[in-house]
Amino acid sequence: MTNINKSSTRSRRAEVAGGGFAGLTAAIALRQNGWDVRLHERSNELRAFGAGIYLWHNGLRVLEGVGALNEVLEGSHTPPTYETWMHNKSVSKETFKGLPWRVMTRSHLHNALVNRAKAVGVEIAVNSEAVAADPAGRLTLQTGEVIEADLIVGADGVGSKVRDSIGFQQERWGSKDGIIRLIVPRKKAELGHGEWDNTIDMWNFWPRVQRILYSPCNENELYLGLMAPSDDPRGSRVPLDLEVWVEMFPFLEPCLVEAAKLQSARYDRYETTKLDRWTAGKVALVGDAAHAMCPALAQGAGCAMVNAFSLAQDVAAEGSVEDALLAWERRIRPITDRTQQISADYAANRSLSKGNMFTPEALEAARYDPINRVYSWPQ
């Protein structure tokens, strides 16, 4: 039997579908702005999927805005440089003119956001999957229950049921390459002499195309991103084909041996999703539901969190939620669109292999300060 829970007349209610970075950020920021917020997670617990993650100045400012920055800074790492290698020789070292950036495990970031959501009073419903929404402000759960709200946030990922139930028009395309993302022990002592605190983007085009993004997360954990074309059966194999990776990157053998043990490894092709619009009535989409992007600029999570935080800013005042959502999309979307396009172009052309590719245009999203709505760092 359908059950409709009406929103309170004393405070506005938001229902957030999806317990990832975008959903948690939206839920926390809305709650801090006085909304009653319930977050729906389809799994039986809130947990992070994936391996490592980069956050730049824009994402770090969001964490400051929602009160989670200090917890994230503990147990994460800023490499001295972002170094690019071609055929095992350094071709560039980039420091981004002091622009803040950080590398961490996805679970570390996710746990900090979960802790903050609980601290500010976000209601968390697990085993609760949103399967449909309508612009009038009704969210349907897999149980058949229908919940009425002043705002619905669809943060339910690239396969978003909130998005698809409304019928947003979308383009989706994949790249020729994909990636295996893993967290392994750093093995710094075993690696021997070298600048192993740096992020090192290691490219090889001969005798086969393979890339390893080597990213220390903290003293003990290392994030490895192993890229290979989707039509390379050995490079894309999971669990890892140890021989083919050690042959190309022998100096990383201690870390690769650990990586090959991980039975849960997954190969994902790079994908881009672009929608005609992000809003419909009282429904807004954030994160991969709205703008999944290639990881070339490491801005998927950063843009998702900025957009979710900015959404809460723009619906903070009393007035029409529908009008506020339209204004939010007009204000914040252009940055994401430009970043998404550069990321797709970089991935298609393997541009990062050249080194020194974090141009002012490529760092546009990273330089944005969502709290003050300005660009905080020089180009």
| pLDDT value at residue 46 | 86
Cβ-count burial 243-269 (b if 16+ within 10 Å, e if not): ebbbebbeebebbbbbbbebeebebee
| pLDDT value at residue 204 | 97
Name residue, tokens 């022990």: 185
128 within some domain: yes
User: How many helices (H) and strands (E) in the chain?
Assistant: 12, 21
333 within some domain: yes
d(CA 289, CA 273): 8
| pLDDT value at residue 11 | 86
DSSP state of 295: G
129 within some domain: yes
Q: What's the CA angle centered on 54, arms 126 and 364, to 5 degrees?
A: 115
152 within some domain: yes
| pLDDT value at residue 180 | 97
* Overall domain count for the chain: 1
| pLDDT value at residue 2 | 34
66 within some domain: no
Name residue, tokens 């975008």: 22
CA distances from 300 to 17, 273, 292 (A): 18, 11, 7
Mean pLDDT by 10 residues, the chain (379 residues): 40 96 98 98 88 97 98 97 97 96 98 98 98 98 98 97 97 93 97 96 96 98 98 97 97 98 94 96 98 96 98 92 98 98 96 97 98 89
| pLDDT value at residue 9 | 44
Specify the CATH number for the domain of residue 334: 3.50.50.60
314 within some domain: yes
357 within some domain: yes
| pLDDT value at residue 316 | 87
| pLDDT value at residue 184 | 98
Q: What is the separation of C-alpha 94 from the centre of its chain, rounded to a whole number of angstroms?
A: 22
CB 96 within 8 A of CB 379: no
H or E stretch at 119: helix 106-120
Domain that holds residue 277: 4-54+106-170+273-375
Strand partners, 269: 178
| pLDDT value at residue 10 | 57
CB 347 within 8 A of CB 175: yes
75 within some domain: no
With H, G, I as helix, E, B as strand and everything else as coil, classify residue 362.
Answer: coil
d(CA 14, CA 34): 10
d(CA 287, CA 22): 5
| pLDDT value at residue 379 | 73
| pLDDT value at residue 91 | 97
